[in-house]
Chains A and B, each alone.
Chain A
Amino acid sequence: MAKFDEMAFYDHKEMTNISYAPPATPWMDTPVQFRPGSYIYPGKARHLEYLGLPNAREWEVTENDWKLQDNWKQIILEGMADRLQRFRSFKLFMDICVRCGACADKCHFFIGGGDPKNMPVLRAELLRSIYRKNFTAMGKVMGKIAGGRPLTIDVIKEWFYYFFQCTECRRCSVFCPYGIDTAEITIMGRELLGLLGIYVNWIIEPAANCFRTGNHLGIQPHTMKDIFDDFATDIEDITGISLDIPFNKKGAEVLFVTPSGDIFAEPGIYTAMGYCLFFNEIGLDYTWSTYASEGGNFGLFTSNEVMKRLNSKIYAEAQRLGVKYIIGGECGHMWRVLHQYMDTMNGPADFLETPKNPITGTVFEHAKSTKMIHIMEFMADLIKNGKMPPVDKSRNDDCVVTFHDSCNPARGMGIFEEPRYVLRHVCNNFVEMPENTIREQTFCCGGGAGLGTDENMEMRLRGGLPRGAAVKHVQDEHGVNRLSCMCAIDRATLHTVCEYWAHGVEVCGITELVANAMICKGEKKREINMRFQPLPGAEQE
């Protein structure tokens, strides 16, 4: 027998037989490992306090003790019981899944990351297993055999990890034969975590800011006015047209609401400048507001109650200013809130009128109840009726454009044709991405639903892979260099996704391209676009 320090002691065959396969432990027995890059920093106490949310304290995700209330288990179970009673859809979605697997491979985080717990069915099971154990007879008696499991602190950590790896994009729901909306399950999961004071800062800080100043970024009225003065100066430099951008104008016909992200950072600011130029050119009697200065609603990612509180500002401001109706800008989740929840949350807005285009006379009957229409619907109507200002498409000839359907306007609202109609009107080069990556099957940017922060960059890039692959395809095949979209979060996050997966493709809003192409009355000879870059052909002159 060889000694341990002699080579013959070791079984070489066994030593070199390294398996790279991951351990096949059942999902219930595989606890979460928090890896930097794939989770978001926790909500700071001061923001929770500002919104009056429970258990405000400073805590760290990677520490063992999350400083929960002593009776946290009771809080969760009572919270669940309450929601099962209040929200019929939640109860239904907990019960009816037959685990057919149709949704399993539809989530961008699963497709790009490969973590099975990001299969929508399994992500929902994280919550469903607790429901079964505590709220169904079978689960109470049979436990694990019936798919139930006890509520432990590891379960809470797992919820935190995975419910903040869902962008509530609802792609999986399109494929579910029962119509289960996994986004709603995530919404419920996040609400339950909220009862323990478990929020992420990138959501709760904007929500608190919005409650305090009217917008996510905490821009105060005088700063906002200052920013728009700068826009006016820039627009004058580009077009020679001097604008007077209306603010808090009482008696205006239309209140315009859009996400504050677009008035703050590139490339969204070019879209915001585009709105100002467009409204000025068609002579619409409209106004911006410093109070309802946010279209987005991070309450959607916090709780039903916070969403309602933040949303209430829009109708309140419309009433105060005495406008007739509201137009909303290019935003993503804002449209899910406006289209699906606003009417019953804070409506009916019977002090407003059914939106009517003052230039074409078109009455937007579909918005009879909410009194709010999308700017693309408004623009498409102008084009259809030949009332759109003249355009010079060649000004966008440096762009080969494709269009990313943002999840919420696409699946939450069903607006597919209008943006394409407008794009084709202002661009000569428009190319669609593959069929299974657009319209109702569109892939998320990987940063929606409050995940668009930088500390979880690794996670976002995984989630952005399916979209990035489609963009790369049209870049290689058709020379696409511009990805247009109508969502402020997309404009911020897809920029990064494209840098990694489809280097060389820039991101823009649709109104930016409209503003480039629009020939305004009395404009000077246009030599630069909204980004201060030379227009095609201008370099040679």
Chain B
Amino acid sequence: MQTRRLAYQAHWLSIMLSRTLQLKREAIAQRWLYSVYDSYAPETAKFLKKKKDPFDNPVGARMVASTAGICEQICADELDAEAVCGHLIEIIKVRAVQDMSPSKAMSFVFSLKDAARQELGQEADAALLTEIDRRVDQIALFAFDIYVKCREQMYQLRVNEVKRKVKTIINKFNKENCGVDPEDEPGEDAPLTSTQRGVEL
């Protein structure tokens, strides 16, 4: 009996969440997007907001698409982890190499809570806000994983570059002096296996 009641409550919550949020989705996304822009210096924020061409302003274009996509997920009946990660990667790949501390780079996820609260205003129900917080926290955990993978990839690229510089000489040396055919050895440029690469970055 208890279980059935809980299941019913969860179902009801999900419908309520979905309906209320759907109405506000675009407004939340817009507010969130602007708060992400505002985490940059004022001149930069102005540029990110103004330039619409995706090649003149690739950072802004990624943010527009990804914040909208994540908001769609926040407002959906259930959070689709794969879709969320796909959008998160687009933003985090950029912020992972920008001049930011890890905490600042990740801060944009949490500003989604504020954006949702400000948009929902008085209509916000405590249960609804708790559910939003829960989803944002879940997204934050995905974000941490992705951030770390981006940084790891960056260091790996550095290592690959150093190895590439000496590959020709080492191969030649091995071939001449050790009789080892470099083609038989796993090279430093061997593509990462799916386990090593984890999320496809």
Contacts and interface: CB of A to CB of B under 8 A. Distances in A.
Interface of A: 20-22, 24, 35, 37-38, 104-105, 110-116, 119, 230, 264-266, 269, 434, 436-437, 454-455, 457-458, 461-462, 465-466, 469-470, 473, 492, 495-496, 499-501, 503, 532
Given A105-B47, A499-B160, A20 B168 contact: no
Given A20-B107, A114-B98, A454-B161, A436 B56 contact: yes
A269 B107 CA distance: 44
Given A266-B189, A465-B58, A469-B55, 6 more contacts: A35-B99, A115-B41, A265-B168, A492-B161, A500-B201, A532-B183
- Indicate the size class of the contact surface on chain B: 35 or more
A492 to B, nearest CB: 8
B200 interface: yes
B53 interface: yes
A436 B55 contact: yes
B47 to A, nearest CB: 5
B94 A230 contact: no
A465 B41 contact: no
Nearest to B113: A16
A21 B38 CA distance: 6
Interface of A is mostly: helix
B106 to A, nearest CB: 10
B154 A266 contact: no
Contact of A265 (B39, B42, B111, B167): B167
Contacts of B41: 22, 24, 114-116
Contacts, number: 117
B136 to A, nearest CB: 14
Identify the 3 closest CB pairs spanning chains A and B, nearest first: A469-B58, A114-B44, A461-B97
A496 B35 CA distance: 31
Given A104-B47, A230-B172, A503-B200, A495 B38 contact: no
A112 B47 contact: no
Contacts of A269: 168
Determine which residue in A22, A466, A492 has the highest number of CB atoms from chain B within 10 A of its CB, and name it.
A22
Contacts of A37: 154
A501 B47 CA distance: 22
Interface in B1-50: 35, 38-44, 47-48
Nearest to A223: B169
Contacts of B57: 105, 111
A462 B40 CA distance: 15
B30 to A, nearest CB: 17
Contacts of B183: 532
B111 A266 contact: no
B58 A266 contact: no
B48 to A, nearest CB: 8
Given A20-B38, A113-B99, A116-B41, A500 B154 contact: yes
B15 to A, nearest CB: 29
B54 interface: yes
A437 B40 CA distance: 24
16 contacts: A20-B35, A20-B108, A20-B111, A22-B40, A38-B99, A105-B47, A112-B58, A114-B41, A265-B164, A454-B158, A457-B154, A461-B97, A461-B157, A492-B164, A496-B161, A532-B183
B55 A434 contact: yes
Interface string B172-195: 100000000001000001000000
Contact of B55 (A35, A115, A473, A500): A473
Contacts of B164: 265-266, 492, 495
A500 B61 CA distance: 18
A111 B42 contact: no
A314 B174 CA distance: 35
A272 to B, nearest CB: 11
A229 B194 CA distance: 39
A405 to B, nearest CB: 14
A20 B39 contact: yes
A502 B191 CA distance: 14
B59 interface: yes
Contact of B43 (A116, A469, A470, A473): A116
Contacts of A469: 54-55, 58, 61
A410 to B, nearest CB: 16
B176 to A, nearest CB: 10
Given A113-B99, A454-B161, A500 B93 contact: yes
Contacts of B157: 457, 461, 496, 499-500
B47 A461 contact: no
A465 B53 CA distance: 14
Given A111-B59, A470-B55, A500-B157, A465 B94 contact: yes
A266 B201 contact: no
Contacts of B55: 434, 436-437, 466, 469-470, 473
Contacts of A434: 55
B153 interface: yes
Interface in B51-101: 51, 53-59, 61, 93-94, 97-99
A497 to B, nearest CB: 9
A458 B154 contact: yes
A448 B69 CA distance: 36
B61 to A, nearest CB: 8
Contacts of B98: 112-114, 462
Nearest to A504: B191
Contacts of B39: 20-22
A264 B170 CA distance: 12
Contacts of A115: 41, 44, 99
